[in-house]
Structure 1
């Protein structure tokens, strides 16, 4: 779905609501005001809902914004604000739920006409907030990575690779909008925001004041519970992410890689080294000039390549990469595994660590040459002989793992994996942990199967639960479980392992 088609559907819904309200209340409403109320309300309800099914996704997006704002403030006249953003990052999920519930409830308030003046100002405030976010996202495309946002003299031509946040997250993972489109979308929505400020008295009201209050109160409570259910107690009820159940990571990854390899260079953007004049030259002309004109290379520098769009859009699956603990690639062997594989996914493990020094005795050996007398010919043998011990001081990290996390592994996940070990193999993928840390965690939790490491952002995209359980076979995702919604062994065997998995001994 595109933004244009979404606006069409929202517009149709708004017209239908306006027609019904006009029929019910005869001539007591203003059609233009009522239509804008319903349009803005429906859009906010839909936009909030697709984020409410995955509040953690919005929280992760807000963390990216807070980090970008912190970096921007540190290098500018706003540096006194920089310490605020790490605190916001720590409470990103609370901020996410608050904004999602506010957005949907505000949409409901607009449609029913509850607290018209308050609703108008809230709509204006939230649109200013969204416009700042999307505007910052878009405008950082003009800011070189080594420059601060407020160093306007260093701004260059727009380059999407320079953006501090790649997309706004306005519609969660349902629709990924280009930052420019998202920014101008919010500028357009500022029109009804300003309209409501001056025309709030002309907005319609439906139902009685008591019913409007009840609808708003009940909606707020229900939406809070709905948001919590999609990350505290379960995985998102609707999965808009690329790693949804049924997706084959192996085939999708191969298709996306092929599509990227088939991308053609259409033109080159070049700049004259002397007068700084920039041109966009077709690829054929550029290559001909580069080959046949000796002065071309000396006079012009290449700024960018203009490429065709890949036939298959690139998703986060293209970033799928897991590593063995020694750093070697493990992606291919992991995806090629034909047995059922129950995988613990853990983007981030809570722990504390301190560096300690330990005294250890190190054995010392010397090499001795022994002459062996023989009747015909003497021979020489070199032997390794123990020569004593030497005290050595070594540094290592001492880890204290989160007790709740270990309890989840020891009492819920690992016993389940052990109960089906004859039907499915087990493994684990951890993010943001070193080889030393994973080895220590394996010992602390009693994990005796292969473990891998991966980027924590990738794992957050695959699984919202931390830890969570993934069932995969031959690269295809069969099912994902929140650690609070794990199946019992019988259900796992009969429903997901089909009762006849490849036996492993």
Structure 2
């Protein structure tokens, strides 16, 4: 039994640390997922707390996993694990059964899971946690008390510090399709021969003479030739069910338009020259001092290297025009939906250096590059 408990400790501890770490790598992304749950449960008043909640939850996961591995505070850790896995299990079951939040965000964007996959994972974890909970009084610390306390304190600093760092300076590892090195035009394409989604259509039929009813799929409907019998008629609306998921481009919701609604996605992303793309999905909450610094950088790049600078936002055209005029922006202003803009860069504002559709570099407004650094690393060979 002692070996079984150790196996459970290692499996649960490492999985909780990994789960918390991978979400803390992108706390803003996790906060967006929490807001989806808040909307489902009609708790939108909690939206302002989503980011704080995300960082805290990630830290708690990592701390519980670490404490379990070193054997400190066993009773409190066992209770914490049990409550947390019950909470996550409820959310994943609710998402799967009622088909509301279709990706739980358990492992961030690194390992996307369907709701039923997430629920199955939580049930396996629950079984392991129950073993730990029942045998919690047999768990002994690996180190002396003062060393355990020091290690746990260090884990607290790291767990919260990591989430705060990635929020302020972008994820350490970018798992999103807009990562540095990705060609956005390629990520939006569907390759030749790729299979589309496969659906099954179910018809409800009724016999006009006998009143008998039948239910059959579209394949059965055609195979049996029942459609030739005038006595059978389709009643109600056919039901469509996804049978097999086909190919889906990594980027499928990015459409860049001007104020008149003209699509400029291909033109802007396909430029063979360096472009500076400023992403500020919500101008009413963007950092205005950062906007001023970015604008000064854009002015120098445009004057000396003829760099085209573009501002992407989800605000209305009148609001964006007023904002650009207020801050004397030299950037062209284009518009896109807020969801892909939040995904492009986890900052408001953030900037991308692009060339030929490829993301050459990406920066948070807290770590804006200097003009000389951009010239030295990217533009020195430009005419």
TM score, norm. by length of structure 1 = 0.70
Q: What's the counterpart of residue 183 of structure 1? A: 119
Q: Tell me how far apart the structure 1 counterparts of residues 375 and 231 of structure 2 sit (CA, whole Å).
A: 71
Q: 1:293 to 1:468 in 2, by over 3 A?
A: farther
Q: Compute the RMSD of aligned alpha carbons.
A: 2.3
1:413-456 CA-partner distances (Å, limit 9, x unpaired): 0111111114221011002x111101101101111331111111
Aligned to 1:230, the other structure's residue is in SS state helix
Partner of 1:67: 39
State the distance in 1 between where 2:30 and 2:72 align.
27
TM-superposed deviation, 1:40: 0.2
CA distance in 2, matches of 1:192, 1:216: 23
Partner of 2:238: 302
Q: Equivalent residue for 1:279? A: 216
Q: 2:299 aligns with which of 414, 418, 428?
A: 418
Query: Which structure 2 residues correspond to residues 227-306 of structure 1 after superposition, within 5 A?
Result: 227-232=163-168, 234-255=169-190, 262-263=195-196, 265=198, 267-272=200-205, 277-282=214-219, 286=222, 289=225, 292=228, 294=230, 298-299=234-235, 301-306=237-242
1:86 aligns with 2:41: no
The 5-angstrom pairing of residues 16-27 of structure 1 reads none
Give the unaligned 5+ runs of structure 1. Answer: 1-28, 71-84, 142-163, 352-401
Q: Deviations over 1:195-246 (max 9, x none)?
A: 22221012242111111111111111122111111012x1111101111111
Is the strand fraction higher in 1 or 2?
Answer: 1
| Matching residue within 100, 118, 121 for 2:58 | 100
> Structure 1 runs of 4+ off > 6 angstroms?
none
Q: Deviations over 1:333-365 (max 9, x none)?
A: 2222222110100122226xxxxxxxxxxxxxx
1:109 aligns with 2:67: yes
SS in 2 for 1:272: strand
Inter-CA distance 491–115: structure 2 relative to 1 (3 Å threshold): same
Q: State the SS of the aligned residue for 1:323.
A: coil
What does residue 330 of structure 1 align with?
264
Seen in structure 2, the aligned counterparts of structure 1 residues 246 and 471 have a Cα distance that, compared at 3 Å, is: same
CA distance in 2, matches of 1:288, 1:325: 54
- The residue aligned with 1:155 is none
What is aligned with 1:30? Answer: 2
For the residue of structure 2 that corresponds to 1:120, the secondary structure is helix
**Larger-gyration structure (1/2):** 1
2:310 is paired with a residue whose SS is: strand
Aligned mates of 1:288, 1:449 — CA distance in 2: 63
The CA deviation string for residues 259-312 of structure 1, in whole angstroms up to 9 with x for no partner, is 66x4264643333367775433438x53884875555553574211545432x4
Q: Distance in 2 between matches of 1:333 and 1:468?
A: 21
What residue in structure 1 maps to residue 149 of structure 2?
213
Contact 2:170–2:347 (CA under 8 A) maintained in structure 1: yes
**2:26 paired with 1:54:** yes
Change (3 A) 1:279 1:188: farther
- Where does residue 368 of structure 2 map in the other structure? 486
Render the CA deviation track for 1:311-346: whole Å, top value 9, x for unaligned: x4443x111111111222221222222221101001
Contact 1:289 1:296 in 2 (8 A): no
Evaluate the alpha carbon distance shift between residue 430 and residue 289 of structure 1 in structure 2; reply closer, same or farther with a 3 A threshold: farther
SS state of the match for residue 141, structure 2? coil
